[in-house]
Amino acid sequence: MAKQTFKIEWDAHIYEHKERSSDWFWAVGIVASSVAIAAIILGNIIFGILIIVASFSLSLFINRPPETIHITVDEAGVTRANIRYPYDTIHSFWIDEEHPHKKILLRSKKMFMPLIIVPLGEKTDVEKLHEMLQQKLEEQYYSLPFVEKILEYLGF
């Protein structure tokens, strides 16, 4: 019996783009300034400077359009942009279709990169992708990490 080969490819934005109003920038600026002033008052000047620099960097890069990346799932592994994740380094997967922007959540065996989030394209055949991944990986329910849920709620 011949070994069945498969390959599915799509393009997707690396993150969900949201337009932010000037009120959002004012809120971030006020919170960042307050935290920086509190840090300086408490004697932690370096942390206060770090907060100011980080909020300035955030305001510069937050409204840029997302980059489009190419994703490939084949018999060797999952490729996201130019990074290959072989199946032997992945423990399990979950396809999150409940989120407004569908994603594949891959649980890595590596300690410092436990969850790999791969965005799905709008025209990706999710059923075919699910069948392909089930041949190579165990399916296990995962949800987005709590910190990522908070950041999405806050508009990051």
- Per-residue pLDDT tens over the stretch 60-75: 888 888 888 999 998 8
Q: Is residue 37 part of a domain?
A: yes
Q: 77 and 55 in one domain?
A: no
Provide the domain count of the chain: 2
- Predicted local confidence at residue 40, as pLDDT: 95
Q: 32 and 83 in one domain?
A: no
Residue 77: phi and psi, rounded to 5, are 160, -165
Distance in angstroms (rounded) separating the CA atoms of residues 81 and 68: 9
Q: Count Cβ neighbours within 10 Å for each residue of 100-124 and write b for 16 or more, e otherwise.
A: eebbbbbbeeeeeeeebebbbeeeb
For residue 78, the one-letter residue type is V
Domain span including residue 51: 22-61
- Among 58-62, 107-111, 126-130, 144-148, the minimum mean pLDDT is found in 144-148
What is the pLDDT averaged over residues 27-32? 93
Q: Is residue 49 part of a domain?
A: yes
What is the pLDDT averaged over residues 108-137? 86
Domain end marker among 61, 90, 113:
61
Between the ranges 22-36, 98-112, 139-153, where is the mean pLDDT highest?
22-36
pLDDT digits (tens, 9 = 90+) for 42-52: 999 999 999 99
Residue 106: give its domain's CATH number.
Answer: 2.40.50
Ramachandran area for residue 43 (φ above 0: left; ψ -120 to 50: alpha; else beta): left
